[in-house]
């Protein structure tokens, strides 16, 4: 299985080759892989910011515990979930679903009512946790896409989310930062690439019941 070869090859890259950039074609493929990720109800209650501004990335690095990947990587995605799962987001999804699948929005009303009822029953904290989980599914698609393309990547949770939100003006957009994906090509100076991958053996990870 070719995917397993790609996943064995990848690792959480610590230092990037700043002179080597990802092609626009490859970036579009990674974006599409993220777009195709499954999400609860298919709602995709998140957005992804592609941070291209170098000065902004320097600012983000300062509140990201000065991790070099933030500025050294060729490209940087910041995954953000919505601040709230407003019913309008569900209405937007139903309108898109009707358009793409050639049905009438009215025919989806019952489905919409069911979703709104289930989501409205959650506390704000539960909504935040639920939406963040959807982001990580999309992140996984991005990581696998990078590996399949021979592109190095670093999923990163170590950053000051409140400071990121402020720098990126996320509150104005109804968003909250969740996780970072740095992408590029490993530096020859990154010794981590030579370390053996450490994972639990399958018999410890999986149990038959």
pLDDT for the residue numbered 52: 97
Residue 101, class by beta-carbon neighbours within 10 Å (0-12 exposed, 13-18 middle, 19+ buried)? exposed
Going residue by residue through the chain, which has 209 residues, state the pLDDT in tens, using 9 for 90 and above: 899 999 999 999 999 999 999 999 999 999 999 999 999 999 999 999 999 999 999 999 999 999 999 999 999 999 999 999 999 999 999 999 999 999 999 999 999 999 999 999 999 999 999 999 999 999 999 999 999 999 999 999 999 999 999 999 999 999 999 999 999 999 999 999 999 999 999 999 999 99
Inside any domain, residue 97:
no
Inside any domain, residue 198:
yes
**Encoded tokens for 167:** 């720098």
Q: Hey, CA dihedral for 163, 166, 169, 172, is it positive or negative?
A: positive
> What are the distances in angstroms from CA 75 to CA 40, 146, 152?
27, 12, 11
pLDDT for the residue numbered 1: 86
Closest to 46 in 3D by CA, of 121, 127, 117, 154: 127
> What are the distances in angstroms from CA 93 to CA 46, 73, 121?
12, 33, 19
Question: How many structural domains compose the chain?
Answer: 1
Q: Provide the residue range defining the domain that includes 132.
A: 2-85+122-205
pLDDT for the residue numbered 20: 98
Inside any domain, residue 8:
yes
Q: Which three-class secondary structure state does DSSP give residue 152?
A: strand
Inside any domain, residue 94:
no
Q: Which three-class secondary structure state does DSSP give residue 178?
A: strand
CATH value at residue 79 = 3.40.109.10
pLDDT for the residue numbered 159: 98
């Amino acid at each position: 299985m070719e995917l397993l070869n790609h996943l064995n090859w990848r690792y959480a890259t610590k230092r990037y080759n700043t002179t080597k950039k990802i092609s626009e074609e490859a970036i579009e493929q990674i974006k599409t892989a993220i777009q195709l990720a499954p999400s609860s109800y298919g709602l995709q209650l998140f957005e992804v910011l592609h941070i291209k501004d170098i000065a902004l990335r320097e600012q983000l690095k300062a509140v990201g515990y000065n991790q070099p990947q933030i500025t050294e990587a060729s490209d940087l995605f910041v995954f953000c979930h919505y601040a709230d799962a407003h019913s309008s987001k569900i209405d937007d999804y139903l309108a898109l679903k009707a358009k793409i699948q050639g049905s009438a929005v009215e025919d989806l009303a019952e489905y919409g009512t069911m979703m709104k009822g289930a989501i409205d029953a959650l506390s704000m904290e539960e909504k935040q946790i639920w939406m963040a989980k959807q982001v990580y599914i999309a992140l996984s698609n991005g990581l696998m896409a990078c590996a399949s393309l021979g592109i190095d990547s670093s999923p990163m949770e170590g950053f000051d989310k409140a400071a990121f939100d402020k720098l990126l003006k996320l509150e104005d957009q109804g968003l909250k930062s969740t996780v970072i994906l740095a992408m590029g090509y490993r530096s020859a100076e990154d010794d981590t690439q030579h370390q053996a991958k450490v994972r639990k053996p399958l018999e410890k990870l999986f149990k038959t019941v």
